[in-house]
Amino acid sequence: MQDQPKFFPQRGTDFYADGRSVRPQVENTVARNQLHEDSYFYTGLVNGKEGDGMPYPVTMAVLERGQERYNVYCTPCHSRVGNGEGMIVQRGYAHAGDFHTTRLETAPLGHFFYVIANGYGAMPDYSAQVAPADRWAIAAYIKALQLSQKATQADVPAGTKTESLSSIAEKEGFPESFTKPWVLPPTATYGTPNDQSFVLPTPGSSSTGSTAPVSAHSPAAAGQTVPKQ
């Protein structure tokens, strides 16, 4: 196989009249499994803008699926509560988005789908890992997660007993700081909000101490400026 004649991807050939080894799609045909008629389901966009609303009904099973997929693919960076301070961030990755800001609380549902499908700034895309139906399930779960962080007595059925997280933490013997916003260690770096360039710290520079983080997702060397994608 090493030596037999073959076409390499995107390399030309004189075998076909148009000089291309890769054959173009036959006009007016659709390959099996590629009939994406419902474009909102596949893109999260309506007329080029992020749409709001689920393309299929949300049930408890959908939210549970979304929670499970979120916990697998998003918590390493965004954490289980969605504050953007997951384990990878705590060990030096760019600060992941906090879902509990007004901007993201009011963002259309299609935004979450779109970010999973296409990535966002320092965040790589998860289109290969997370299928479209699961992207929507995760987006729906993030909405539930956002609600959960600001829920009031009025959000639960009348008569349901609620307890504050701090009183539960106290009862369970957690330290007082447990319910306070998490403090990131100095090795964590910050993302690229407002289209600012993201500068990787250089080894030994004062902001990083002795352990300089190496960006896992970028081939750039430490100290180089990584342009926002």
Chain contacts with ligand HEC (rule: CB under 6 A):
73-74, 76-78, 88, 93-94, 96-97, 112, 115-116, 120-123, 126, 130, 138, 191-193
- Output the smallest distance, CB 217 to ligand HEC, in A: 7
Distance CA 135, CA 131 (A): 6
Output the six-digit token pair for 131.
Answer: 């299928």
Closest approach, Cβ 134 to ligand HEC, in A, equals 9
Cβ proximity to ligand HEC, 167 vs 229, nearer residue: 229
Nearer to ligand HEC by C-beta: 63 or 169?
63
Tell the smallest beta-carbon distance from residue 181 to ligand HEC (Å). Answer: 17
Which residue lies nearest ligand HEC, judged by its C-beta? Answer: 121
- Number of neighbours of residue 88 by Cβ within 10 angstroms: 18
In terms of CB distance, is 113 or 208 closer to ligand HEC?
113
CB 11 to ligand HEC: min, Å? 34
Q: Say which amino acid occupies 135.
A: R
Give the nearest distance from C-beta 54 to ligand HEC in angstroms: 15
Between 141 and 208, CB nearer to ligand HEC: 141
C-beta neighbour count of 75 within 10 angstroms = 16
Structure tokens at 70: 């979120």
Residue whose CB is less far from ligand HEC, 78 or 208:
78
Exposure b/e, 13-45, CB count within 10 A at least 16 = b? eeeeeeeebeeeeeeeeeeeeeeeeeeebebbe
Angstrom distance (rounded) from CA 16 to CA 77: 48
